[in-house]
Chain A
Amino acid sequence: MEEGRKKTIVKLIQVEKSFGQTDVVKKLSLEVGAGEFLTLLGPSGCGKTTTLRMIAGFEQANGGRIELEGVDVANLPPNARNVNTVFQNYALFPHMNVADNVAFGLVEKKVKKPEIKKRVSEMLRLVQLEGMEKRMPSELSGGQKQRVAIARALVNEPKVLLLDEPLGALDLKLRRQMQIELKHLQRRLGITFIYVTHDQEEALTMSDRIAVMNGGMLEQVGTPEEIYNHPRTRFVADFIGESNIMEGVVKETKQGDWQLYMDCGSVLLSQEEGCRPGELHYVCIRPEKLKVSAAPVEGFSIPVQVVEHVFIGSQIRTIVKTTDGKKYKISSPPDGTLLPAESQGFLYWKSGNAVLLPDDEQDGAPLEKGEDAFAIEGGEAGGSLV
């Protein structure tokens, strides 16, 4: 994995883009290595598609530099860039059959006819569409159209393949299947993929690295494990997977330790790094890392009431309520012992399982809207739990 990142193939340096008064991408810098599968992940309107379109050449950046293989491409039109795009709605040519669609780029490059025929049929075999050469796009299913779109882009052997939510229009089962196929295809061909999605699960499944975007800026870039286990901002913690987020102020105790004081209790902090005394901090804990016990655990002083248990197949979801009325969720394996509902308990987690984040959101606006961490996520993944 590491050697694949040796050579940088796409480089964005302080790239800016605005439409009218709206800044869509703000001073974004990013490097993508050869053979890497990088996902731009973020909510809709975060600027991820615009970033992709700037790399493809459909949009001109207002500031900064975009380099492909070390060359500034600011003045190159899309047809002069060695990248190809798979569009969200496939964008197949409706007046051409499958073979002609796939051959389009090769015809533009004036490749000889027998060579075109050979490469088209090889590519169609690769995406499992043999024998479909003469079909028109209107006669294909959504999944088949997507395969044609992928074949049409890959047949040109681009240095980078840009994919703009390519699986967005497919149903869940087909999407899962195509995720795996795409990942295999990318490994086999060794082509750099830059993949845009708003689906965090898709990003975690497929990517070598994920770049989480929000409001036109990068929140965090890292491997799926880093992003999931060590989110660096509250947004990332909240957007990727599920998180319990508690807020409190860090103070130094008489013993010289750091303690986080929250409305619902306090926690002794094991690591001091990143602590700024007297300031607001967030603690993010994944539901599977959060635990509740009947007896107090050393260092933790967060009394809770168990609200209910929800059986969701592989796991049991426990909802607990702190003294300030906020609810948190815990997931545990179904074979463990559970505190009965309505009983009192104490929250704790193993040291190193929670992430402490200083409050460096510019305005904190998106954080205040929910009563608790729960409500923010409610619409996305755990809607049934609230």
Chain B
Amino acid sequence: MRHNQMNKTTGKSREFHPLAVGYACLIYLFLFLPIFVVILFSFNSSARNIMFEHFTLEWYGRMFQNRQLMEAFWNTILVAFASTLIAVVIGTLCAVGLHKFEFKLKQTINQALYIPIVIPELVFAIAMLVFFTSLNVEMSLFTLIVSHVTFSMPFVVITVRARIAGFDQSIEEAARDLGANEWHTFYRVTLPMILPGVISGGMLALTISLDDVVVSYFTAGLDSTTLPLKILGMVKKGISPDVNALSTLMIIGTVGILFLSTAIQNHLERKQDSRTSSTGMSTPVQSRKASAP
């Protein structure tokens, strides 16, 4: 009893009720067991995802020999990095502009940024398809990149703007005052200060682009299939172990990006100030996932 009371005042390291611990374990099991099963079966020597026989790396080897799969993989990487780069540049400039200048329709533009995020992804995808067809543009890697930029750019704008919002205007004035022209002020002062926001926006854009299915399904050409589309196609014929192997690698890749981005952000923010803007990383992902059909 006494032990419990003491901990109530500190609010730290409280001993948990066994039921609470069990409940927490169940939740984590629910979240991660399916993922774990995929990873496990990717090392399974049996071709059927029912019983684990013994350990093998065969499927990984087969996966790398699958030319179509590899082509889709490189397409995905190309589209993700190209669209992220473009989205980061446009999005950052947009956020800086929205912060710096006062103009008509500013409020409207601010609100309009949320449209690609909140509308159902399917509607957005069909809109892109109709748009490209009406312009007589043939579906290709190009259309794929353009549509990925369109839906990932708002995420960059929102994360960068969150970072800029708490900014003291006079810091940029100080740079001008000390002899920096506008361009120097931007890359010596403004950009380093908003960099954590730019990076988290970019990581967000990258992960969204990497696993996008719906928009890609409508805007990819015949020779520009991406990995998620390819997997979708393969799954239709039954889940083969090489899909498990591929999924395992994707999990490792995505988690790696997540850790990397968190580490970079923490490093940058610790260097600058104690302001925490890492929330920009999680919330938009959730809202997007929720809107996905």
Contact = CB atoms under 8 A, between A and B. Distances in A.
Interface of A: 56-58, 77-79, 83-85, 87-89, 91-95, 104-105, 108-109, 136, 138, 152-153, 156
Contacts of A94: 171, 193, 272-273
Interface in B242-293: 268, 271-274
Interface string B170-183: 11011111111100
A91 B171 contact: yes
B173 A95 contact: no
Nearest to A58: B173
B63 interface: no
20 contacts: A57-B176, A77-B176, A79-B178, A79-B179, A83-B177, A85-B173, A85-B177, A87-B170, A91-B174, A92-B174, A94-B193, A94-B272, A95-B272, A104-B178, A104-B188, A108-B178, A109-B179, A136-B272, A152-B174, A153-B177
A105 B268 CA distance: 23
Given A89-B170, A91-B168, A138 B177 contact: no
Contacts of A85: 173-174, 177
Given A85-B174, A89-B168, A94-B193, 9 more contacts: A78-B176, A79-B177, A83-B177, A91-B168, A92-B171, A93-B174, A95-B272, A108-B178, A108-B184
Nearest to A97: B271
B126 interface: no
B-side interface size class: 20 to 34
A88 to B, nearest CB: 8
B86 interface: no
A109 B178 CA distance: 9
A78 B177 contact: yes
Contacts of B273: 94, 138
Nearest to B274: A138
Interface string B156-193: 00000000000010110111111111001000110011
A104 B178 CA distance: 7
B160 to A, nearest CB: 16
Given A58-B173, A91-B171, A108 B271 contact: no
A85 B175 CA distance: 10
B272 A78 contact: no
Contacts of A95: 192-193, 268, 271-272
B170 A91 contact: yes
